[in-house]
Amino acid sequence: MGVRGTTSVGALQLRFWGVRGSHPVPGKSTLRFGGNSSCVAVEADGQVLAFDAGTGLIGLGRLLLQRPGKSVVHIFLSHLHHDHIEGLRYFEPVYRDDWRVYLYGPGSSPATVENTLRRSMDQRLFPVALAELQARLSIRTLPKREVVRIPGARNLTVHAQFSRAHPKVGVMLFRIEYRGRSVVYATDVEGPKGGHADVVAFARNADVLIHDSQYTDHEYFAAQRNKAGWGHSTVRMAAEIAREAKVGRLLLYHHDPSHDDKEVLHLERLARSIFTNSQAAFEGLTLKLRAR
Ligand SMILES: [Zn+2]
Ligand SMILES: [Zn+2]
């Protein structure tokens, strides 16, 4: 038996736990795609990795506690905006002293991630301090570029690369590699037409590209009150980047909270007209990539 959550040998498995950007959206109008904020779980080589700690992470935490096996999880934060960390405080494994939780994210100093998480749990904001969490935490601020090795996993690596494609603080892109398979996680990136060159190069030939696709063309390009410069892509930009990078499959991600299921379906059709193998990610979507 491997680490909790490891269900398949020789495959990389993805599961979407939260696909929404900015803030959660519960309610009837989002039942099909889901309302939780960003979180994707990856299982491979006997390990569980989570990408971002939006409210989707809370459900993953409950599942992990139900499973037998070792108690280790690695959480990669694309950046520290609220919608990417708000689930961490309710992630049950951090309250268990038999759990080990690794956290990685970008920052300007070696202590950025730890300091920011500590501040997010200041006693005026939350009743439990970071130092009071029972799990064994290892918190690392990643440099601009790094290949992260996962202890105990021989064939699994996570390439992290910092990008300026998000305003002010930038964002970390992640590329997960496992036995000839690759998945790129690129959320909260904004690209001009044709895409940011660094994102395209980073995603080149990946089997799966999970890409920010928050806005419609109208929202982004409207003459007034448009969303250009807010750090997110349109669906069209995401599809063009997928085509340019020659990925196998595009998953539209970080859906705008104002988009109901009908709107997301409409945007999925638009993406397919540009890049055929496109799909709007939904909560519960699971993909399995067999190792080569
Ligand atoms: Zn976000
Ligand atoms: Zn952000």
Token output for 241: 């980047």
Distance (Å) from CA 57 to ligand 1 centroid: 14
Mean pLDDT of 62-81: 95
CA of 254 to the centre of ligand 1 (A): 7
Ligand nearest to the CA of 253: 1
Q: Which ligand is nearest to the CA of 187?
A: 1
| 189 Cα to the center of ligand 2, angstroms | 8
Ligand 2 center to residue 103 CA distance, Å? 18
CA pair distance 124, 122, nearest whole angstrom: 5
Q: In whole numbers, what is the pLDDT of the chain averaged over residues?
A: 94
For residue 188, report the distance from its CA to the centre of ligand 2, in Å: 5
Element (H, E) at 245: helix 235-245
**In the prediction, which pLDDT does 4 show?**
54
Structural domains of the chain, with CATH: 11-290 (3.60.15.10)
Tell how far the Cα of 189 is from the centroid of ligand 1, in angstroms.
Answer: 9
- Whether pLDDT at 1 is above 70: no
Cβ atoms of 110 and 150 within 8 Å: the answer is no
Question: What's the pLDDT score for residue 69?
Answer: 80
Model confidence at 20: pLDDT above 50: yes
- Tell me the chain's radius of gyration from C-alpha atoms: 18
Least confident among 8-12, 34-38, 73-77, 206-210: 8-12
Neighbours of ion ligand 1 (CB under 5 A): 21, 83, 188
Tokens of 286: 């699971």
- CA 114–ligand 1 middle distance (angstroms): 19
Token reading at 64: 């992990």
| Residue 284 banded pLDDT, cuts 50, 70, 90 | very high
Task: Tell me which ligand sits closest to the C-alpha of residue 52.
Answer: 1
The number of the ligand nearest the C-alpha atom of 171 reads 2
Per-residue tokens: 109: 């100093």
From the CA of 37, the nearest ligand is 1
User: Which ligand is located closest to the Cα atom of residue 231?
Assistant: 2
On the question of pLDDT at 137 being above 70, the answer is yes
Q: Tens of pLDDT along 206-250?
A: 999 999 999 999 999 999 999 999 999 999 999 999 999 999 999
Ligand nearest to the backbone CA of 190? 2
Distance 195 CA to ligand 1 centre (A): 18
Residues belonging to the chain: 292
The mean per-residue pLDDT over the stretch 112-140 comes to 98
- Band (68; pLDDT cuts 50, 70, 90): confident
Ligand number nearest CA of 80 is 2
- The CA 146 to ligand 1 mean position distance, Å, reads 22
Q: What is the DSSP string of 36-102?
A: PBSEEEEEETTEEEEE--STHHHHHHHHHHHS-SB-EEEEE-S---GGGTTTGGG-GGGG-TT-EEE
Specify the DSSP element, H or E, that contains 264. Answer: helix 261-274
Separation of CA 81 and ligand 2 centre (Å): 5
pLDDT digits (tens, 9 = 90+) for 149-161: 999 999 999 999 9
Q: How far apart are CA 175 and CA 205, in angstroms?
A: 11
Query: pLDDT digit string (tens) for 176-218?
Result: 999 999 999 999 999 765 457 889 999 999 999 999 999 999 9
Share of the chain above pLDDT 90, in %: 91
State the distance from the centre of ligand 1 to the C-alpha of 229, rounded, in angstroms: 14
Look at residues 239, 235, 234, 232 and name the one whose alpha carbon lies nearest to residue 200: 239
Q: Is 205 exposed, middle or buried (0-12, 13-18, 19+ CB in 10 A)?
A: exposed
Residues 6+ apart with CB under 8 A from 238: 211, 212, 213, 250, 252, 271
Which whole number is the average pLDDT over 119-135? 98
pLDDT of residue 2: 47
Residue 84 Cα to ligand 2 middle (Å): 7
